[in-house]
Chain A
Amino acid sequence: MNLWDLLKMGLRNLSRRKARTALTVVGVIIGTVSIVSMVSIGIGINETFEKTYMENGAMTIIRIEQYSANFDENGNWAGESKQVLDDNLVNALRGIEHVKAIAPIIDQSGQLKSGKYTTYAQIRAIGRDAFGEFGFPELTYGTYPSENDYKKIVFANGTLQNFYYSSGRKYETKVVDPTDEKVTFVFPEWNYQKNPRKKDFKLEMNPGKGNFAVMAESDNWEYNSTCYMDMAFFKEIWKEYASTLTVADRKRAMQVLESYSSIYVNVDNIDNVTDVQDAIKELGYGTYSDMQYLEPLQQTSNMIQIVLGAIGALAMLVSAINIANTMVMSIYERTREIGIMKVLGCKVYDVRRLFLYEAALIGLMGGIIGIIISYLVSFGINKYGQPIFAAIMQTSAVYDVEGAKFSVIPFWLPFAAALFGMFVGVVSGYIPARRATKISAIEAMKSNQ
């Protein structure tokens, strides 16, 4: 028998018992919808993670801060401890496997002035190599510090937008463009006592000298609010600044250069972050990473996927049993017909195919209708499921919960689901179909005579 004849005969037989076929198909629909929704939520959550990771660019970064939070066995906060971050530690870190880059950091406060306007500038001094390693954003002006051209400040986009002027009742804000307006960098006056006999330290930004650059707006808040500087350049200007201070404060200021405020470690792969973090812990240092917040979240999402997967698998199992039952009934009803077909020269192979095709058709129909319903379910999840997922993900590094999609059906999923439906049909129809081939023609024709 050719394919078309088999399909036609299969459809005819299925339409013979419409209610039974419909009910069996409904079983497959429920199974398909469960599985497709499960997969789509799994993919949706993963995509949200990946998006967060891309935006943040910081999932592979481990931070070692000067002050490390301590936690007791139950994970409760138990005070802070100060840790010394110096070059010995940097060397120790180099020995850890999977460490791609290490960036010692010194943080200082700075101020930018432009006419009567001023703004606070968080300054972060970092090794010049780090600019290529830590996912820094594009520059809208200038270049990042390099070996021959390191005497510059890299402005954060956010810093330049927050110039303000306040006096008495007036408060004005302004966006300053350093390529167009005169900007001067100074260290704030409130930290150290100035030596009144010395000239004030200040650094004038000059497009001609190329001593500044501007970062493009970034989704990573750190790059949006922190100005960067090469470590060597920072040391130079800090020494210059320190020389303008009183003798007592000059000593105090010079201590800033002796240890780092923090050390950033970039790990080669997101999967190794936890391992490296554990290795640093063994050195006796507390660490932070976005991964450590993401991990419980991923566990939650894995759990959701397992639960949904179990529901889907159960529904599919029940529908497979349902198909098998339908096929057994159908074969029982058609015993005589099968006998006649065999006597008329229908090959055993064709008898088996006939029933397998019927089972596959049930699976395919259920699969296709199931996919259509899955799209509706997915739409519903994305539209109305927000609060549930937002609650689950709130504590996490997913910043943009509002815009996140929780159910994503990729283009291959409908095809995979239809094929899977067919596959389930064929598998559950196989034993009944085999039974049909074993029917003896003579017995079959005796029955119902």
Chain B
Amino acid sequence: MNEEQKARKKMIEVKNLKKIYRMGDEKIRAVDDVSFDVMDGEFCCLIGTSGSGKSTILNLLAGIEKATSGEIILRGKNIVGMSEAKLAGFRQSSLGFVFQSYNLIGTMTALENVELPLIFKREKKKIRRKKSIEMLKKVGLDNRMDHKPSEMSGGQQQRVGIARAFVAKPKIIFADEPTGNLDTKTTVEVMTLIKQMAKENHQTIVMVTHDPTLTEYADKVIRISDGKIVETKIN
């Protein structure tokens, strides 16, 4: 670790994170005492097989699921035990999401989908429209703005998803298998896009994948197995 990296502040701190599900009398330790840090501007990749608990960790980090115990400190704030309302405000200001299945709203056009986080933030119509158009241009979809998701290919939909995740300029982006439904060529395009956009705005990325080839995009690779960290690698 060089001097520059040391000077960077921690964007995400995870301490002794646990998530235990109850299935009848049986306890399933989906996340078992996990601790790690992600630095500001770092691209962190959680890799593991299906059922390893990597997606659960991501959901816990995003506050979508409640942790059983432990601490998750995002930008200096512990989100464990944060109220729904505060969490929503925190998501608006600091978090962006890219999903495997894109999760676009089917009745809205590409532009409207991208606008959504800004609508929740109560940004003025003119400003949010301008920002959204700009963002769609960046992901190369300026000719698809008025198309609905059903009229676009998977790659195009994921670009809309990326534009939506980045439009509010959040400090942290969570990506859950963002290329899981895409072919190899599109995967490269999408990954390049995510990496490039994060770099431009100095954003932190946490990505979950099972695909080892994607680890080359990451600065830090954390391997998860059975809810535990088995290996941490700095690229």
Residues of A in contact with B (beta carbons under 8 Å apart): 1-2, 5, 12-13, 16, 336-337, 340-350, 441-442, 445, 449
Contacts and interface: CB of A to CB of B under 8 A. Distances in A.
A442 B61 CA distance: 13
Contacts of B108: 12
Contacts of B103: 336, 340, 343, 445
B220 interface: no
Given A445-B99, A449-B101, A344 B120 contact: yes
Interface string B179-214: 000000000000000000000000000000000000
Contacts of B107: 12-13, 16
Contact of B91 (A345, A445, A449): A345
What 4 pairs between A and B have smallest CB-CB spacing?
A: A345-B92, A345-B91, A347-B88, A346-B120
A349 B107 CA distance: 22
Given A336-B103, A341-B120, A345-B93, 17 more contacts: A1-B119, A16-B107, A337-B105, A340-B105, A341-B105, A341-B116, A343-B91, A344-B120, A344-B164, A345-B89, A345-B120, A345-B168, A346-B88, A347-B88, A348-B88, A350-B120, A445-B99
Nearest to A16: B107
B97 A343 contact: yes
Contacts of A5: 119
27 contacts: A1-B119, A1-B122, A2-B122, A12-B108, A13-B107, A16-B107, A340-B103, A341-B120, A342-B88, A343-B62, A343-B64, A343-B103, A344-B91, A344-B117, A345-B95, A345-B121, A345-B168, A346-B88, A346-B120, A347-B89, A348-B84, A348-B85, A349-B85, A441-B64, A442-B59, A442-B64, A445-B103
Contacts of B164: 344
A28 B35 CA distance: 57
Give the bracket for the number of chain B residues in contact with chain A: 20 to 34
A342 B87 CA distance: 10
A344 B116 contact: yes
A347 B116 contact: no
- Select the residue from A1, A5, A343 with max chain B CB neighbours within 10 A: A343
A3 to B, nearest CB: 11
B88 A345 contact: yes
Contacts of A348: 84-85, 88
A348 B89 CA distance: 10
Interface in B90-113: 91-93, 95, 97, 99, 101, 103, 105-108
Nearest to B123: A2
B85 to A, nearest CB: 6
Contacts of B168: 345
A5 B124 CA distance: 11
A168 to B, nearest CB: 97
Nearest to B100: A449
Contacts, number: 58
Contact of A442 (B65, B89, B93, B121): B65
Contacts of A345: 88-89, 91-93, 95, 117, 120-121, 168
A113 to B, nearest CB: 90
A1 B118 CA distance: 9
A445 B106 CA distance: 14
Contacts of A2: 122
Contacts of A449: 101
Nearest to B115: A5
Contacts of A337: 105-106
A346 B121 CA distance: 8
- Select the residue from B84, B108, B120 with max chain A CB neighbours within 10 A: B120
A267 B59 CA distance: 80
B163 to A, nearest CB: 13
A336 B108 CA distance: 14
Contacts of B62: 343
Nearest to A449: B101
A347 B101 CA distance: 23
B97 to A, nearest CB: 6
Contacts of A16: 107
Contacts of A350: 120
A352 to B, nearest CB: 12
Contacts of B64: 343, 441-442, 445
A313 to B, nearest CB: 36
B118 to A, nearest CB: 10
Nearest to A347: B88
Nearest to B116: A344
Nearest to B97: A343
Contacts of B101: 449
A345 B93 CA distance: 8
Contacts of B122: 1-2
Contacts of A344: 91, 97, 116-117, 120, 164
A449 B116 CA distance: 21
A341 B121 CA distance: 12
Nearest to B91: A345
Nearest to B90: A345
Contacts of A347: 85, 88-89, 120
B195 to A, nearest CB: 22
Contacts of A340: 103, 105
A16 B65 CA distance: 31
A350 B84 CA distance: 12
Contacts of A336: 103
A349 B86 CA distance: 12
B220 to A, nearest CB: 24
Contacts of B59: 442
A441 B87 CA distance: 12
A1 B92 CA distance: 12
Interface string B54-91: 00000100101100000000000000000011001101
Nearest to A342: B88
A350 B121 CA distance: 11
- Select the residue from A1, A16, A344 with max chain B CB neighbours within 10 A: A344
A12 B112 CA distance: 12
Contacts of B95: 345
A345 B121 CA distance: 8
